[in-house]
């Protein structure tokens, strides 16, 4: 069976004030998996706990290492997202990791018609989403269906840009050996650190 690593990009519930945000849950993962059948998916989750949350460079490095390790990044763009998701999208593009963005029609990042800077734009897609996406879909199940094609179209070499080297090194040298969820994911993907 073919296996694909998917990085789940989207909001993380950091506390009680985040309970109303749409986040990745088991339900979203099940929908992606259903759409991807018969492909087996190993999910790389930025919300898995790490041993030292005070190591902010290592925490950032973990996210970037997961994006580098993933075969595909799926971005949950159902609602407005913050700076972290934008950085993840830019990092994925810079590293050569394909990005599938879930941006439903007539939501924050896509609109049938938008009044913008004094003109009417039809079939609007936010410029950053448009520029960084390998594929834009409406649902998690469609994201699952798009995985194999996104991977096949982006078989180029992976490259870590200079601006990410220190963070990924910090994570690999000082966090990874104690990061049980990531070690399990690497084993499931048959990849070495």
Q: Report pLDDT digits (tens) over 3-34.
A: 999 999 987 665 566 566 788 889 999 999 99
pLDDT recorded at residue 14: 59
For the stretch 106-132, pLDDT in tens is: 998 999 998 888 999 999 999 999 999
d(CA 24, CA 39): 20
Burial of 153 (0-12, 13-18, 19+ CB in 10 A): exposed
pLDDT recorded at residue 76: 94
Given strand 99-102, what is the order of strands in its sheet? 40-44, 3-9, 72-76, 99-102, 135-137
User: What CATH number does residue 26 fall under?
Assistant: 3.40.50
Q: Are strands 99-102 and 135-137 parallel, antiparallel or unpaired?
A: parallel
**pLDDT class for 2, splitting at 50, 70, 90?**
confident
CA angle, corner 60, sides to 59 and 61, nearest 5?
Answer: 90
pLDDT recorded at residue 55: 94
pLDDT recorded at residue 17: 61
Judged by average pLDDT, the poorest of 59-63, 100-104, 133-137, 188-192 is 188-192
Q: How many CA atoms lie within 13 A of 116 on its CB side?
A: 13
Residue 149 lies in a domain: yes
**Residue 187 scores a pLDDT above 90:** yes
Residue 120 lies in a domain: no
Total domain count, the chain:
1
Judged by average pLDDT, the poorest of 44-48, 92-96, 166-170 is 44-48
Average pLDDT of the segment spanning 135-144 = 96
Residue 130 lies in a domain: no
Residue 115 lies in a domain: no
Residue 126 lies in a domain: no
Residue 140 lies in a domain: yes
Residue 56 structural domain? 3-102+136-188
Residue 82 lies in a domain: yes
**pLDDT class for 175, splitting at 50, 70, 90?**
very high
């Amino acid at each position: 069976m073919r296996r694909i690593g998917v990085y789940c990009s989207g909001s993380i519930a950091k506390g009680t004030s985040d309970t109303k945000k749409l986040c990745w849950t088991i339900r979203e993962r099940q929908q992606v998996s259903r759409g991807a059948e018969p492909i087996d998916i190993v999910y790389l989750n930025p919300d898995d706990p790490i041993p030292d949350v005070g190591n902010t460079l290592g925490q950032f490095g973990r996210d970037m290492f997961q994006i580098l390790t993933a075969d595909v990044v799926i971005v949950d763009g159902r609602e407005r997202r913050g700076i972290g998701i934008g950085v993840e999208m830019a990092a994925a593009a810079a590293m050569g990791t394909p990005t599938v963005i879930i941006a439903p029609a007539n939501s924050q990042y896509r609109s049938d018609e938008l009044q913008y800077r004094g003109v009417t734009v039809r079939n609007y897609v936010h410029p950053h989403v448009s520029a960084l996406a390998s594929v834009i879909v409406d649902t998690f199940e469609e994201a699952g269906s798009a995985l194999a094609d996104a991977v096949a179209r982006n078989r180029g070499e992976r490259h870590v840009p200079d601006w990410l080297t220190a963070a990924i090194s910090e994570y690999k040298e000082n966090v990874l050996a104690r990061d049980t969820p990531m070690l399990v994911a690497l084993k499931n993907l048959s990849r070495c650190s």
